[in-house]
Chains A and B, each alone.
Chain A
Amino acid sequence: MKDKRKILTIISLILFVILLFIMNRTFDSYEIRILNLCGIYVVLGLSLNLINGFTGLFSLGHAGFMAIGAYTSAIFTMSPELKQMNYYLKPIIPIFKNIQLPFLPSLLIAGLMAGLIGFLIAAPVLRLKDDYLAIATLGFSEIIRVVFTNTQSLTNGALGLKGLPKYTNVWWSWGMAIGTVIFMVLLIKGSYGRALMAIREDEIAAEAMGIDLFRHKIISFTIGSFLAGVGGALLAHLLGTIDPLMFRFLLTFNILLIVVLGGIGSITGTVISAVVVTVLMEFLRVLDGTMDLGFIRISGIPGMRMVVFSALLMFVILFYQRGIMGTKEFTWDWILNRKKKYTQIKG
């Protein structure tokens, strides 16, 4: 029975990769961009869900870690000529001037850097709880943004970095997404995941059971920051342009939205809602432009998209708090059992 499920998983993975291959061939560049965004948001959503959903630490600092990842990888992937072009007001710090690495090592360094900063921040901040933790992490991400705006010779300040090599393609974004999903499933099913969920349910009880609260919280926070950094780096090399204003609270909020819609504490839910939210955001763009319904022309109102979007979010929070999946996960048993039931009825 167990093997059957494993085989099913592998088969569906292969099918999914084939599907990606077909989509990569047939989609136009705009659609591929959305597909990439979906993959990146899966990574980002899962990383926030690990911290917020599975460990129950309400962190609002994701945009900061993404900024670290994005800038780190950008500094390593830009060619020396591009650096000279970008940093025209103040030259870049000499050590980074001639460095250029391929995408994979840059991505790893970006993740490690974000993870390291996350680790350093976690030690003092994780002593706080609930709202205080939320505000402190939000504070840290704002500090990171302010620092990046002011360190002209490292990040080019408010001008941002332009013309980054667009390395992110369907394989990178969805490769990372699939990797993250597999990692999360293994983590959550293992002893660490169970410890994290115990902390979420009841800290005092978890501590009484012998779980080292602080250590587990730090591990969760650091892994979450690492993945956020990788996601940020992928995003930077998809868009090709980054500046500190991109990494405002709004970005954290978008990711939080994905986690809430999917169900706080569900991997399946996050994956579904990352795709749904990203596609919906693009679909709602119609509202901003003029609509031609044949007999009537509705001139779009710029900004209407975001109003509808935030109203939708409020609706979900107020009336459908559990999100798409609640804390449930997809398992093959759903399909297998349904089939069994069906044959029973038939027989």
Chain B
Amino acid sequence: MGMSNFLQQLANGISLGSLYALLAIGYTMVYGILRLINFAHGDIFMVGTYIAFYSMTSFLLPWWLSFLIAMILTCIFGIIVEKAAYKPLRNSPRISVMISAIGASFLIENLAIVLFGGRPKAFPIPDMFNKVVKIGNVSIVSVNFYIPIITGILLLILLYVVNNTKTGMAMRAVSKDYEAARLMGIDVNKIVSFTFGIGSVLAAMGGIMWGLKFPNLVPLMGLMPGLKCFIAAVVGGIGDIRGAVLGGFILGLGEIMIVAFLPSLTGYRDAFAFILLIVILLLKPAGLMGKNLTEKV
């Protein structure tokens, strides 16, 4: 296990971590505002990837246009999911909303199996993402550079929107206190839609880059990443965007490093996230960046 191998794995880990971070942000923002685990988020990610796939292979559009279309359509799709499955239950007990979220996820998955077919599809990779870059004796596929860069740019835009615009301020207000925000004249439904829209755009971009890195599309591809990214959001401290990014990177790097340095545990790779989750929940239930709140009677 030399230095070059380590650097190669590090690059892999960082790009996987970036993808997890992008998805985790969607979970954390929705949870921050609605206190709801958006189980369908992983499926929105899958839908985004399939839209990009079909616009490249069936409509033969250039890749950048396909990615743009995928982001726009996925954004609309995410908002529709919210309006159809979550909005009618705004005042219901949390268990009902959660079951509705699981149901929505289940419905999207099954629709995808019927519409897209259950057989795996190969995501076409534009040449620029598939070059092998050699630095010294470390060879890294170029997509591993693009993923963190694109993620970084998206993150900066997101943080700007959340911290410096009026809509962002309204988002923060709703997540602090839903009722009070409404009383202050904030159109909560609009903010919720906006949040779902942003989360879905990030999920679509995450899905496309996921396709570039792991070009194997199946209708259930969003299930595992979805669960793991929710865990990443919890580990970082749910409701906190920086926490979600941190959690995503811990998870991505952790998974890659386990496989790289403890090959005998490769089969347990998928369990890593869940073990991490349980350890964090027991030691620091509010997550790494979260604040501990005591329950008021």
Q: Which residues of A contact B (CB under 8 A)?
A: 52, 58, 124-125, 127-128, 130-132, 134-136, 138-140, 142-143, 146-147, 149-150, 204, 249-250, 253, 256, 260, 264, 301-304, 306-307, 309-311, 313-314, 317-318, 321
- B113:A306 contact, CB within 8 angstroms: yes
**CB contact under 8 A between A136 and B277, given known A128-B285, A307-B114, A314-B85:** yes
- A313:B106 contact, CB within 8 angstroms: yes
CB of B230 within 8 Å of the partner chain: yes
Residue on A nearest B219 in the bound complex, by CB:
A303
- A143:B223 contact, CB within 8 angstroms: no
- How many residue pairs link A and B with beta carbons under 8 A? The number is 102
A204 and B295 CA atoms in complex are apart in Å by 11
A131 and B102 CA atoms in complex are apart in Å by 12
CB of B150 within 8 Å of the partner chain: no
CB of B234 within 8 Å of the partner chain: yes
- B231:A132 contact, CB within 8 angstroms: no
A250 and B109 CA atoms in complex are apart in Å by 11
> Which of B96, B98, B107, B118 is the one whose CB lies under 8 Å from A310?
B107
A250 and B107 CA atoms in complex are apart in Å by 12
**CB contact under 8 A between A314 and B103, given known A146-B271, A301-B114:** yes
What are 6 A-B contacts with C-beta separation under 8 Å?
A127-B285, A250-B106, A310-B103, A310-B106, A310-B110, A317-B96
- B107:A135 contact, CB within 8 angstroms: no
Of B2-10, B58-66, B87-95, the one contacting chain A is: B87-95
- Min Cβ gap B104→A in Å is 7
Q: Which chain B positions have C-beta within 8 A of A58?
A: 95, 98
Chain B residues touching A, range: 35 or more
CB of B297 within 8 Å of the partner chain: yes
Chain A interface SS verdict (over half): helix
- Min Cβ gap B119→A in Å is 11
* Chain B 218-243 interface residues, beta-carbon cutoff 8 Å to A: 223, 227, 230-231, 234
A204 and B275 CA atoms in complex are apart in Å by 30
* Chain B 178-237 interface residues, beta-carbon cutoff 8 Å to A: 223, 227, 230-231, 234
- B98:A135 contact, CB within 8 angstroms: no
Residue on B nearest A208 in the bound complex, by CB:
B297
- A306:B110 contact, CB within 8 angstroms: yes
- Min Cβ gap B38→A in Å is 11
List 15 other contacts, CB 8 Å, given A147-B268, A303-B114.
Answer: A139-B273, A147-B271, A256-B102, A260-B99, A302-B114, A307-B107, A310-B103, A310-B107, A310-B110, A311-B107, A314-B100, A314-B104, A314-B107, A317-B89, A318-B100
- B85:A204 contact, CB within 8 angstroms: no
A140 and B231 CA atoms in complex are apart in Å by 13
**CB contact under 8 A between A321 and B96, given known A139-B277, A307-B111:** yes
A7 and B277 CA atoms in complex are apart in Å by 52
A271 and B99 CA atoms in complex are apart in Å by 20
* Chain B 107-123 interface residues, beta-carbon cutoff 8 Å to A: 107, 110-111, 113-114, 118
CB of B37 within 8 Å of the partner chain: yes
Residue on B nearest A124 in the bound complex, by CB:
B282
Q: Which chain B positions have C-beta within 8 A of A150?
A: 267-268
Q: Which chain A positions have C-beta within 8 A of B95?
A: 52, 58, 264
A311 and B223 CA atoms in complex are apart in Å by 19
- Min Cβ gap B280→A in Å is 10
A250 and B227 CA atoms in complex are apart in Å by 13
